[in-house]
Structure 1
Amino acid sequence: MADFRRAGRVGRLPQSFFAGLDAQIAHARASGVDVIDLSKGNPDLPTPPAIVEAMQREVARPENHAYPSFRPRPSVLAAIAERYRIDHGVELDTTTQIAVFHGSHEALMAGILAFADPGETVVLPDPAYPMYHSAALFAGAREVSLPLSETDGQPEWEAIDGLESARVLVLNYPNNPTGAVATGATFERAVSVARRLDALFVHDFAYASLGFDGGAPLSALASDPGAERTVELATLSKTYNMAGWRFGFAVGNASAIAAMRAYQSHAFSTIFGATQEAAAVALAGDQSAAEEIVGTYRARRDAAVAGLRDAGYAVHRPGGSFFVWIDLPDGTDDAAFAARLLAEHGVAVAPGAGFGPRGAGRIRLSLVHPIDILEKAVARMGAALT
């Protein structure tokens, strides 16, 4: 069998961080370890019944069995625009300011690959979701790190004061992995810095609904009237427990949305019409189920943080997302600690270094289990410190 050389754009990619964690967990389970997996943000709760019922109806409709149009369905465009108007006070033009994708992962790729040519600069937060780096590598772009404060998770803007230009500036709030929530001042500064750099500001708003202490998280578009510089990426995965449904969208600057739509139409394809109609029901319907989901994660957050602190861990209390960011004792190798925690105590977490240099010496765990399972995991983690 021939052994084909990979193209450079693929050959320079590292192993997927989360695929590596999956392999370690599979090995542990094959060895007989009872693993509680807190390593990934895969929601455990079911999709609300009204959304499932809408999908079932739409799947049965023959008009949804053919290739869908490249143009998103009017129903889902209207629902996205109305959700933004109600939740954030942001007005969107449904014809020019919304693009839809098979999940916000594709939107993120479009947000970088549609704008950064090889050698051009992309500013990425540190720590950050690993796929930001993958997108920059695919583009052949030059990465510049924007450190996030270890105390409040806001950008340390002075780190890029000397940077003269960039194509894209990426931020993510509520933040993965730290759980920090953005302030209005952070978004105002981001728009100002993007203007100075002549960059597109891409805000990854994947955890848009998951704010715990002071209301819903802020949209970056609320700080950029007219969407002069901003595109915001969102997903239904966390808000409505629709991770497997693969539906996300981008909203904001019209020229950027047009470029992202062009990328989507060539790199991927159209989105199943039934999924679009079910997404419209999720966004436009009664939001009480989404509010209950927030309450569930808030209760899990409170239980996990209290238990971890009692066990002796230095924990950052997350203001949003469904992750908990933990400082390990000084000098602790986070990858080695995570490996030992898995092999000896049956708890899988994500080593912080996988999110960038600022993640070294930390671990991230997710709140995607009921409280009794989280308490069991915390007890095991407590034993790992003794």
Structure 2
Amino acid sequence: MTVASAVPRLLIVAVSARRQDRRARLSQEIAGMIERLGGAFLKAGQLLATRVDLVGAELAAALGRLHDDVKPMSTRQALLTVTTAFETVPAGIEAAVWTPPVASGSIACVYRACHDGTDVALKVRRPDVARRFAADIAIVAFLTRAAAKLPMLRRVPLVEIADQVGMSLAAQLDFSREVEHLRRLRTDLADLPDIVVPAVLDELSSGGVIAMEYVHGLDRAAADKLPAETKEAGLSRLVGAVYHMLFVDGFIHVDLHQGNVYFRADGTVVILDAGFMFRLSDMARTRFTQFFAGMIRGDGEFCADILLSTVRHVEKGADVSAFRRDVTDLVARSTGAVAKDFELAAFSVELFDLQRRNRLFAESEFVFPLLCLLSLEGAVRRLHPLMDFQLEAAPHVMHGLLLTDAAVT
């Protein structure tokens, strides 16, 4: 299926559906279109599903199933991956893929297996996913290179950003890499209370198969059913874990949609799927931490200095003074706002636009922390709209700054 072939279907629904049903039917049609396109398009749909505030409740709900309820691969396809991964398939593994998966995403399906009397979560990669992702990434790269030639976008490093995102998406297909990421993520967050990252079972992991501890009590809709106090406490724990990744470890989970994050009734938060992780360079982690510290203080001049320190080329005609004024104004308008009043998406667009206008552009690595926060912001605005998103970062920012100071001394 192509986007071109999907457009007429959307137009037919828009014209033929009754007015009271039109929005719901269009939402379902868009979700179905993205599912049929598959590959990297599913990742985009998953990100949009986290942003109820941007796309509306009906479309977000329709897109929500793309996190873990995509049409599963066939038993034959699952068997192909499993039998290719192992010379001798471990007991219980082959039997598991004959049963329906407990979750089905864009890259893999997850099955519940039993091995030596213990429940195991078995993530099995779709055998055709590499080809589909390669085609999608090539399409995005082509479109990005064409867009980069537009006068208004010539100074924006769109190609570099798209290449980095494309490489990170492609890296999700490398399950040996994801196993390493899961181990590191579990280690990095081990000291944070009530944050659960399941352990990898090495003896059952190989090729396109990752076996992990099976975590019981996962329900994508559970967060909305919890008491407000439990819900807000869990969200604070999740936000704390994300800030720890960003400012302390520099190793960030870029795919924190509701298919990878679960809130349980006991107050614990479960983080799954370390496929889309990104390692910030020491410079990018330090600068991003310093920028956030400036945001918390409302120090726009300091934030401008940090951004200027990451600019790799100042073009002829660049207006550094105007850039400073624009950054200072943006920070002043954004500092201290609670979640319901702060639009990270709008903030990010304006931040990149003011750099373009003034012929300056900061480190492209910053797109990954922003993607991480964008996927998280949707949950914050929905579940804890009065959270001070910036103030919650303060202790983690301080920790990150102390690490930076210690490294320098």
Tell me which of the two structures has the higher relative contact order, counting C-alpha pairs closer than 8 angstroms and 6 or more residues apart: 1
More strand by share: 1
More helix by share: 2
Q: Normalising by the residue count of structure 2, what TM-score does the alignment of the two structures yield?
A: 0.28
